[in-house]
Structure 1
């Protein structure tokens, strides 16, 4: 028999390109590093990565070719301030 997979509303294993995205930088504590969250227009988490690591797979989020601008934004972004991603 096959399994039925039920997904929670607003959740997807494969992120969809969205017209609006939001970014927030979260401060780590002790051995936990700082990290970045990308969220869609419904504030659903679509990407989560360390702030100090090279950016990978940005094409999945429609951000290919914007690595330099995104890295600059991440560097200048204050901790804890959710803002619309405009690059």
Structure 2
């Protein structure tokens, strides 16, 4: 799984994309509201880990997650 943090501009907030190994979009959510999207794809139990990665991830960088 891959994670990408996208910088928002003006009134558009920052977003996060979660993609599978074929780079298909699994989830797209605001940095400040991840709960519903993570629950929808079954990653609620990985919430703390994913949010820790998002906090340290620079904007525009693609990072491979090993879950």
Is the pair's TM-score, using the shorter chain for normalization, greater than 0.5?
A: yes
More strand by share: 2
The one of 43, 56, 69 equivalent to 2:49 is 69
Q: 1:69–1:42: structure 2 CA closer, same or farther, 3 Å change rule?
A: same
Structure with max Cα Rg: 1
Q: TM-score, normalised by structure 2?
A: 0.84
Higher relative contact order (CA 8 A, sep 6+): 2
Whether 2:67 is the aligned partner of 1:84: answer: no
CA RMSD between the two structures: 1.6
More helix by share: 2
The one of 27, 33, 37 equivalent to 2:17 is 37
| Runs (5+) with no aligned partner, structure 2 | none
Q: TM-score, normalised by structure 1?
A: 0.67
Deviating beyond 6 angstroms after TM superposition, the runs of 4 or more aligned structure 1 residues are none
Aligned residues: 67
